[in-house]
Amino acid sequence: YEGANCEDFVCINECSGHGSCSQALGRCECSPWFTGEDCGTPLCPSNCSGHGSCVNGECICDSGWSASDCSSHLCPQACSLRGTCQSDGVCICQTGFSGDACQLSTTCEVYDCSGHGTCRFDSGQSLRNASC
């Protein structure tokens, strides 16, 4: 407090430039994205969605998560470049591929028996089970 009769409340660090000093409440009223007694602590978007740590107002995502708020689950092996990664971390595989990371071929299109035969492939099996 300051003033002739200590009637004026003085906020800590002038609310760090991230809020306004409320005489009525006797504390800082922080701007969005800041918190703390002096509004000096930056907040992270969506509190990093529970999948990261907030460091100086920026989310540092846990392994397997991305986006500014750590809300996007990364797909395994980027879907082996044979599918589309959904936000829940599930790969939607292109035709002819399956598996968690679209790593398995489901057709003989990519397996030519090195030019020494014809591929026989049972539906639902991986390329490793194809025979020539």
Q: Does residue 70 sit in the same domain as residue 82? A: no
Count of domains for the chain: 3
pTM value is: 0.54
Q: Does residue 28 sit in the same domain as residue 1? A: yes
Question: Residue 12 in contact with residue 28, Cβ under 8 Å?
Answer: yes
Q: Does residue 31 sit in the same domain as residue 50? A: no
- Rounded CA separation 120/127 (Å): 10
pLDDT, tens digit, for every residue of 108-132?
Answer: 666 667 777 777 666 555 555 566 6
| Distances in whole angstroms, Cα of residue 1 to Cα of each of 9, 17, 19, 28, 36 | 4, 19, 18, 14, 19
Q: Does residue 80 sit in the same domain as residue 117? A: yes
CATH number at 116 reads 2.10.25
pLDDT, tens digit, for every residue of 10-41?
Answer: 888 899 999 999 988 889 999 988 999 999 99
**Residues paired with 27 in a beta bridge:** 22
Q: Does residue 80 sit in the same domain as residue 119? A: yes
Q: Which domain holds residue 14?
A: 1-39
